[in-house]
């Protein structure tokens, strides 16, 4: 039924709310770990079609040990509460819960239509909130999610709320009491703030008590997480499907701190073979189960990687997995990777927990963790973090069509042309010749003086020194440019001039960049950081690193070395599209070399290493580590040795580290 609900949602509605169907096996595991007793009171503030509430019902029924009409009525009329903004979803929840006992007639259900987040205001002021009966025509509200983005606000703040039943009849209201639930279980919408209507963003800003807990930068799921403060009693449990990115980054910092300080995290479950527990979700997610009580340093957090295909598991499998995770049986009968972390370790790494929870297996975590500990102990004194003042946005290629009019792509690799528009044909002393990719017969030319060095994409860039392998950016009109404009995606063609591009280029020059949005596991990705003796322009798919000369060269080596690639794996934002997105908040956690603390001999040796390797053509990152290629081993061995590690230790560590990096690149 949940999948039916998801498929029936209009695309625009689905896009705004990021509403995704919870896999039923995941729902059973989450409910099994979140609900402790048969009489627990459970709420789902984003209930969708009721998948999680039905799973909760079944867990309660199992713990009760019997099924009767009396028990059914208690569960659906007193114990289980579901709320959702979508009328259709709330009605499906009502049907779903009622159908757990077909023969039983229920007088009422605790299922309501409302913006659950508004409870924060109501329960802040009063001990109890009444959910009145719902009498309006609910289905019409599907039209609220339209491009005008107006009625989500109206819908969430007007009459469109109330209690519902399976047959849509009017029944008595029910009450929600502050901090009265034993468990809050939810797969809240992951909606990106940037995709939400401005009107609803205003609504979110009005939820001051939630913003104090989750901050104002987190996406919609964070507000539902914060809402638990008003729903769950002390000692109660929360069980959430949430993005794994709760463990990293500035946007989630406040809600992460709140979680770690006010809850004792008991279990974190990550899918090993599926990209997420939510069907068709864009972000990699986890199951997080925590108890609402202040943690102690000696408490344990059990991290589980479920190395099974969710679609091939049965409900009996889910039950056995829950028992094994809770320590009630010696085997789950399935492939689980389990490790227990001390809570102190969680607290100490609050700024970024991805090294603990972001990897595909616990062995990788142990090996890479040990390697980083050795690095910190042996050469940590000459490393530092990147500074915010050293990081800058690239040339912003918007609106659509700007990039097409600006960049000429050098075709030294065929894969570079996939998203190219203008392609370099020939370079002469005074002129450069180029063509539109899909119109190669027509050749355009421009003066060399009207071009500037650029780097449009990292695809097929297999050298970290790009001084001699650059793209171009056009700074002035050329003969035939209006024909190019006609075929570009730039909409307001009568308003385009190259002054727009020239203005965007101001203060957008650099000698060094790192890739921002890319695929590390692509066969066309060889390196992460790039340097040129000539200043150049790069689009916002890169981050400018404001270093020059010796600093830039040494740290181009560092960021491409095994140290940089491990940071890349541990600190990146994870999506289900295999893309990595390295934001400024991630880069400031990257290690670089503090060249001021190096000896003159070390600086000279590192610059010699740079010159030795700058002409090397590196294979793909995966091949570098999987095949332990000569270029990779030479870079890492000499770089680490110059910084102070013994060659014997390096030779012992690198093969194990390479195997783990290979596995992580292939898995993610």
pLDDT digits (tens, 9 = 90+) for 460-485: 999 999 999 999 999 999 999 999 99
Task: Kindly state the DSSP code that residue 545 receives in the 8-state scheme.
Answer: E
Q: How confident is the model at residue 19 (pLDDT cuts 50, 70, 90)?
A: low
Enumerate the β-bridge partners of residue 278: 22
Q: Is residue 427 part of a domain?
A: no
Q: Is residue 175 part of a domain?
A: yes
Q: Are 330 and 381 within one domain? A: no
| Percentage above 70 pLDDT, the chain | 90
Q: Which residue has the higher pLDDT, 582 or 35?
A: 35
Q: Is residue 20 a contact partner of residue 174, using CB atoms and an 8 Å limit?
A: no
pLDDT digits (tens, 9 = 90+) for 56-83: 999 999 999 988 999 999 999 999 999 9
Q: Are 225 and 274 within one domain? A: yes
Q: Which of 355, 290, 303 is nearest to 574 (CA)?
A: 355
Choose one of 319, 337, 358: the last residue of a domain: 358
- Predicted local distance difference test score (pLDDT) of residue 6: 46
Check pLDDT > 90 for residue 596: yes
d(CA 375, CA 430) in angstroms, rounded, equals 50
Q: Is residue 460 part of a domain?
A: no
For residue 167, the number of C-alpha atoms closer than 13 Å in the C-beta half-sphere is 7
- Predicted local distance difference test score (pLDDT) of residue 137: 29
- Predicted local distance difference test score (pLDDT) of residue 527: 97
Check pLDDT > 80 for residue 165: no
Q: Are 244 and 364 within one domain? A: no
Check pLDDT > 50 for residue 13: no
Q: Are 289 and 371 within one domain? A: no
DSSP line for 180-239: -EEEEEE------GGGS-HHHHHHHHH-HHHHHHH-SSS-HHHHHHHHHHHHEEEEEEEE
Q: What integer best gives the mean pLDDT of the chain?
A: 89
- Predicted local distance difference test score (pLDDT) of residue 144: 35
Q: Are 66 and 43 within one domain? A: yes
Q: How confident is the model at residue 162 (pLDDT cuts 50, 70, 90)?
A: low
Enumerate the β-bridge partners of residue 662: none
pTM to 2 decimal places: 0.80
CATH number reported for the structural domain that contains residue 304 in this entry: 3.40.50.150
- Burial of residue 631, with CB atoms counted within 10 A of its CB: 0-12 exposed, 13-18 middle, 19 or more buried: middle
pLDDT digits (tens, 9 = 90+) for 372-405: 889 989 999 999 999 999 999 999 988 999 999 9
Q: Are 262 and 371 within one domain? A: no
Using DSSP's 3-state secondary structure scheme, residue 168 falls into coil
Q: Is residue 573 part of a domain?
A: yes
5's tokens: 């609900």
> Which positions ≥6 away from 67 have C-beta within 8 Å?
61, 101
Q: Which of 219, 179, 203 is nearest to 85 (CA)?
A: 203
Q: What is the mean pLDDT of residues 545-553?
A: 97
Check pLDDT > 50 for residue 594: yes
d(CA 323, CA 302) in angstroms, rounded, equals 13
| Percentage above 90 pLDDT, the chain | 70
Q: Is residue 450 a contact partner of residue 390, using CB atoms and an 8 Å limit?
A: no
Q: How confident is the model at residue 359 (pLDDT cuts 50, 70, 90)?
A: confident
- Predicted local distance difference test score (pLDDT) of residue 134: 46
∠ CA 384-381-544, rounded to 5°: 15
Check pLDDT > 60 for residue 555: yes
Domain ranges, residue 185: 2-358
DSSP line for 428-462: -SSEEEEEETTEEEEEEEEEGGGEEEE----TT--
d(CA 76, CA 41) in angstroms, rounded, equals 10
Q: Are 167 and 245 within one domain? A: yes
Task: Kindly state the DSSP code that residue 278 receives in the 8-state scheme.
Answer: B
Q: Are 40 and 189 within one domain? A: yes
Q: Are 239 and 279 within one domain? A: yes
- Burial of residue 125, with CB atoms counted within 10 A of its CB: 0-12 exposed, 13-18 middle, 19 or more buried: exposed
Check pLDDT > 60 for residue 562: yes
Q: Are 154 and 216 within one domain? A: yes
∠ CA 318-319-323, rounded to 5°: 115
Check pLDDT > 90 for residue 604: yes
Q: Are 274 and 142 within one domain? A: yes
Tell me the residue length of the chain. 668
| Alpha-helical regions (H) of 349-416 | 354-357, 362-379, 402-406
Q: Is residue 477 part of a domain?
A: no
Q: Which of 201, 189, 224 is nearest to 153 (CA)?
A: 201
Q: Are 376 and 331 within one domain? A: no
- Predicted local distance difference test score (pLDDT) of residue 152: 40
Q: Is residue 461 part of a domain?
A: no
Check pLDDT > 90 for residue 119: yes
Check pLDDT > 80 for residue 145: no
Check pLDDT > 60 for residue 184: yes
- Residue 307 backbone phi and psi in degrees, to 5: -90, 50
pLDDT digits (tens, 9 = 90+) for 296-353: 999 999 999 999 999 999 999 999 999 999 999 888 888 999 999 999 999 988 888 8
Domain count, the chain: 2
Q: Is residue 616 part of a domain?
A: yes
Q: Is residue 658 part of a domain?
A: yes
pLDDT digits (tens, 9 = 90+) for 266-296: 999 999 888 889 877 767 899 999 999 999 9
- Predicted local distance difference test score (pLDDT) of residue 488: 96
């Amino acid at each position: 039924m949940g999948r039916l609900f998801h498929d029936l949602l209009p695309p625009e509605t689905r896009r705004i709310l990021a509403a995704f169907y919870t896999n039923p096996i995941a729902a059973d595991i989450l409910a099994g770990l979140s609900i402790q007793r048969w009489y627990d009171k459970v709420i789902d503030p984003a209930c969708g079609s009721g998948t999680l509430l039905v799973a909760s019902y079944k867990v309660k029924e199992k713990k009760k040990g019997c099924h009767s009409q009396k028990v059914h009525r208690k569960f659906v009329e007193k114990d289980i509460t579901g709320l959702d903004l979508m009328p259709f979803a709330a009605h499906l929840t009502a049907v779903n819960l009622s159908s757990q006992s077909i023969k039983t007639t229920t007088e009422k259900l605790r299922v309501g239509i409302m913006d659950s987040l508004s409870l924060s205001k109501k329960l802040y002021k009063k001990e109890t909130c009444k959910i009145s009966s719902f009498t309006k025509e609910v289905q019409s509200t599907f039209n609220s999610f339209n491009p005008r983005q107006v009625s989500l606000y109206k819908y969430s703040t007007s009459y469109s709320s109330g209690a519902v039943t399976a047959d849509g009849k009017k029944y008595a209201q029910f009450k929600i009491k502050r901090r009265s639930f034993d468990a809050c279980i939810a797969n809240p919408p992951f909606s990106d703030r940037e995709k939400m209507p401005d009107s609803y963003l205003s609504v979110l800003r009005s939820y001051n008590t939630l913003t104090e807990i989750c901050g104002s930068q987190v996406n919609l799921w964070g507000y539902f997480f914060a809402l638990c403060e008003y729903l769950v009693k002390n000692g109660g449990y929360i069980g959430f499907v949430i993005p794994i990115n709760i463990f990293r980054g500035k946007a989630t910092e406040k809600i992460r701190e709140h979680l770690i300080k006010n809850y004792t995290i008991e279990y974190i479950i990550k899918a090993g073979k599926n990209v997420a527990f939510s069907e068709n979700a864009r972000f990699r997610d986890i199951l997080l189960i925590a108890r609402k009580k202040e943690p102690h340093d000696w408490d344990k957090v059990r991290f589980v990687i479920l190395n099974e295909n969710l679609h091939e598991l049965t409900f009996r499998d889910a039950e056995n997995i829950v028992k094994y995770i809770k320590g009630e049986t010696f085997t789950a009968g399935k492939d689980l990777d389990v490790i227990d972390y001390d809570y102190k370790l969680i607290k100490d790494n609050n700024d970024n927990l991805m090294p603990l929870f972001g990897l595909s297996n616990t062995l990788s975590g142990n090996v890479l963790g040990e390697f980083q500990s050795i690095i910190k102990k042996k050469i940590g004194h000459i490393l530092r973090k990147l500074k915010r003042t050293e990081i800058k946005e690239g040339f912003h290629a918007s609106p659509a069509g700007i990039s097409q009019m600006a960049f000429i792509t050098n075709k030294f690799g065929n894969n570079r042309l996939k998203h190219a528009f203008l392609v370099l044909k020939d370079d002469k002393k005074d002129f450069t010749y180029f063509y539109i990719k899909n119109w190669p017969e027509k050749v355009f030319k421009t003066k060399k003086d009207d071009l500037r060095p650029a780097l449009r994409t990292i695809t097929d860039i297999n050298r970290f020194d790009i001084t001699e392998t650059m793209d171009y950016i056009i700074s002035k009109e050329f003969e035939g440019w209006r024909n190019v404009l006609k075929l570009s995606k730039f909409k307001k063609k009568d308003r385009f001039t190259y002054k727009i591009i020239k203005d965007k280029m101001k203060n957008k020059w650099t000698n060094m960049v790192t890739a921002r949005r890319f695929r590390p596991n692509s066969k066309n990705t060889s390196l992460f950081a790039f340097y040129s003796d000539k200043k150049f322009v790069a689009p916002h798919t890169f981050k400018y690193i404001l270093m020059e000369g010796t600093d830039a060269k040494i740290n181009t080596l560092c960021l491409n070395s095994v140290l940089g690639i491990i940071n890349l794996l541990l600190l990146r934002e994870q999506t289900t599209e295999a893309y990595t997105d390295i934001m400024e908040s991630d880069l400031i956690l990257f290690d670089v070399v503090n060249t001021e603390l190096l000896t003159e001999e070390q600086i000279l040796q590192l610059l010699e290493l740079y010159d030795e390797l700058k002409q090397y053509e590196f294979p793909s990152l995966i091949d570098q580590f999987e095949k332990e290629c000569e270029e990779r081993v030479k870079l890492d061995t000499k770089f680490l040795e110059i910084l102070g590690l013994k060659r014997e230790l390096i030779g012992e560590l690198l093969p194990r580290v390479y195997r783990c990096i290979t596995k992580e690149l292939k898995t993610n």
